[in-house]
Each structure stands twice: as structure tokens, then as C-alpha cells.
Structure 1
Amino acid sequence: MTPAGTAIHQFLARWDIHNPALVEALVDCAKPASYEKASVILRAGDPATHVGIIRRGLVRYYYSSADGKFWNKAFYTEGDLITAASAGLTNSPSPFTIEALEPTDIVLMPYDRLAELQQSFAELGELVARMITHAFIRNERREAMLLTKNAEQRFQRLLTEEAHLFRRVPQFHLASYIGIDAVSLSRIKRKLEN
């Protein structure tokens, strides 16, 4: 099986979908893409035309302002699906940027072809619905955490639920992700170490 086929097969298996014909149809429309560290995969304001599965690497989603400030929305690693879903589903510009934080290999599949395949494969439409539900719940929990928890509680949540990020994501990006600055994050880490 090709690297793209393996990535697609493994991704579908994570969602308990085991249809070889669907894997083959997705592989037929997939194309590999590679990005260097700090490369933009999708820029805010651009249309989201593809969905990607990360084969290797790490990406961040972030919002930015005209004066250069940024706010990290999410991080994704191997086996994760990436896209600007709201932009792809509504045919509107991406509200955020997707950037490679490490050298990253992705399997890209076009939205229009995926929409066509949903007509032939019911489980693909069901998968989309399940993934939207999963993303909604994740985003709602993150919103609640940012709005109702103090900085130390947000850091503790990060340690508990996304500890893998500490090995790969720079501290200033993690600080932005939990809504604090890097100095505050260092202070919290020192406090908890003592």
C-alpha cells in the first residue's frame, strides 16, 4: 500500500470504518504534499479547497491581527485530519492560518471530490457528521476552559489532556494556546515544580 493509502486506511480505522473500496476511492483523489518547518499550509483569507491527513509532522492553527499578534487555536500531529472546516463547508475564506511547526507530510484530498464520494459511500457522510460533532464538542470544552478557568487550571488541563504537546511545541505557542503570555507560563511551571 502507498504511504497515502496507509495514512487514509489508518485514519478511517480510527473512526471504525473498514471499507477497502472507500480507501481506494480516497487514494485515487489524494495527492501528497510536503511542507518545511514554518511553511504556511493554508493562509487566513484563502479558500479551503482540501482536507489533509498528517502523515508526519506537527501543525498549528492560529488567528492573527494586522499588528502581528497571534492566538493559537489548535495543534495537530500524525494521523490527524486538518482543514478549515467552516471555510470548506461554506465555500468562504479560511478564518485562520495553518502552519507547519515541523517538517510535515500531508495527504491532501479535494473537498469537491469528497462531496461526490459521499453520494457513493454512505459511511463517508456519516464520518463527516461524526467529525463535526467531535470538533464541536472539542471547541466547546476549550471555550469553557478559556472562559471559566484561571491560568494555572488551564495549564493543568494542558498537562492532563494534551501532555504530548510539551515535547514538540515551543513554550510561547503553548502559552498562547491557553490564553496567557510566556512569562506567566514559566511562572506557573516554576510554582508547580516547587
Structure 2
Amino acid sequence: MQIPEHKLIPYIQKWVDLLPEEEEKILSAFEPVELEKKKLVLKPGEISKHIYFIVKGVLRSYFVDEKGVEHIYQIRLENGWIGDLESFFSQNPAKFYIETLEASLVLQISNGRLEQLYAEVPKLERYFRILFQKAYINALQRLNSTMWTTAEERYQDMVKENCDILQRVPQAYIASYLGITPESLSRIRKKKS
């Protein structure tokens, strides 16, 4: 399969220097997978076998509470990572759904193949340590923001991070991600226009 240009290697090289042969080993370890729109790639109770680098498309992770309400944990676009890391590393059942919001192309890697790749390209352990530290910090910042910032500030931060999200993700999903109602999001957006 011909993979469209993506930023996996340039993104890794922001944190570690790679030799051409290391780049080849990394790219050969990832499997390209085309996914249709609204495809569930993970369900609660399943073991997360892969983490995904998004080449094209939009994916979200979410959980459904006991009242049947969806709560979006992540929304990721091109050149971002998504996965249920707790399940991926512990090999315990997943707590989240992961679903495509658009037809998507991802590069997936299994836990076993990632461990093997760490041995083949030791620099990659440093990259993933940095990546996972950043993911942990982002999760804490999101948690803190729901306690100490207004919905309007959370919205502005999201737009600043990626303005494409507004054109590509349904408003109800954005509201869920921000922890507000769709009506509150509409009011915030009207204020800003």
C-alpha cells in the first residue's frame, strides 16, 4: 500500500536523531491500515493490541457512563497518536472505545513489535518516554483545566492547539471533549464570532 506523506519520522526526529537505517526499521515496524468512517477499532473489554499514528483522518477515544452518556477523552487528527495506553501496556481489558470520525489511514504497531523495535533502535525508547510523559502531562492539564478554567478558556485552548478541529469534528463531540453541553458550546462560539 502506498502511504501518503506523513510526519512520523520528522516528529520522532524532533526528539531524537535517527540514522537512515533506523528510519527504515521504524517505518517497516508499522502496519498501514485504512479505516472507514465510524469504524470502532477498540471496544471496552477488549485488549488493546495496537497504538496508532494517524496519517489521515480523525479518531476519538471515549467511554460511556452508567447513564449511557458518552465522555470523549481524546480527539486526534493527522500526525497525532491515539490509543488506550493502560490496556496496551498492561494487556488488561480496555476502558475506552476508539472510533474513526472520518475515513482514516493509520500506522499501527503492536506492543510486542514496539518492544522489539526498542531493542533494534534504542533511541526510540527515549522518544516514546518523552511522548508518554507529554501524554501524562496533557491528561493532568485537562483534568486541572476542568476544575480551574472556564469552558470558554478550554475552548480557546483547544482552538489554539488545532483550529481544524472545528471544521472536522461534530459540535456535540467537541462539547463532550470540553466537558460542557452543546448549548454552552454554541453560546461560546457565538460570542467569539
TM-score normalised over the length of structure 2: 0.89
Matches within 5 A, 1:1-194: 3=3, 8-193=8-193
- Greater Cα offset, 141-150 or 153-162: 153-162
Q: CA offset at residue 4 of structure 1?
A: 7.8
Q: Please report the RMSD computed on the Cα atoms of aligned residues, expressed in angstroms.
A: 2.2
Q: Contact (CA 8 Å) 2:44, 2:93: kept in 1 or not? A: yes
Q: Contact (CA 8 Å) 1:5, 1:24: kept in 2 or not? A: no
Secondary structure at 1:3 match in 2: coil
Q: CA offset at residue 150 of structure 1?
A: 2.3
Distance 1:150 1:92, change over 3 A: same
Q: CA offset at residue 71 of structure 1?
A: 0.7
Q: Contact (CA 8 Å) 1:5, 1:27: kept in 2 or not? A: no
Query: In structure 2, how many angstroms separate the alpha carbons of the residues matched to 1:110 and 1:72?
Result: 24
C-alpha deviations, 1:131-152, integer Å up to 9, x for none? Answer: 1111111111111111112222
Q: CA offset at residue 14 of structure 1?
A: 4.1
Count of paired positions = 193
Task: Could you tell me which runs of 5 or more consecutive residues in structure 1 were left unpaired when the two chains were aligned.
Answer: none
Secondary structure at 1:155 match in 2: helix
Q: Contact (CA 8 Å) 2:72, 2:173: kept in 1 or not? A: yes
Distance 1:188 1:23, change over 3 A: same
Q: CA offset at residue 69 of structure 1?
A: 1.1
Q: CA offset at residue 154 of structure 1?
A: 2.2
Distance 1:175 1:18, change over 3 A: same
Query: In structure 2, how many angstroms separate the alpha carbons of the residues matched to 1:26 and 1:51?
Result: 14
TM-score normalised over the length of structure 1: 0.88
Q: CA offset at residue 6 of structure 1?
A: 5.6
Q: CA offset at residue 5 of structure 1?
A: 8.8
Task: Could you tell me which runs of 5 or more consecutive residues in structure 2 were left unpaired when the two chains were aligned.
Answer: none
Secondary structure at 1:60 match in 2: strand
C-alpha deviations, 1:104-132, integer Å up to 9, x for none? Answer: 01111111011122123221111121111
Q: Contact (CA 8 Å) 2:63, 2:97: kept in 1 or not? A: yes
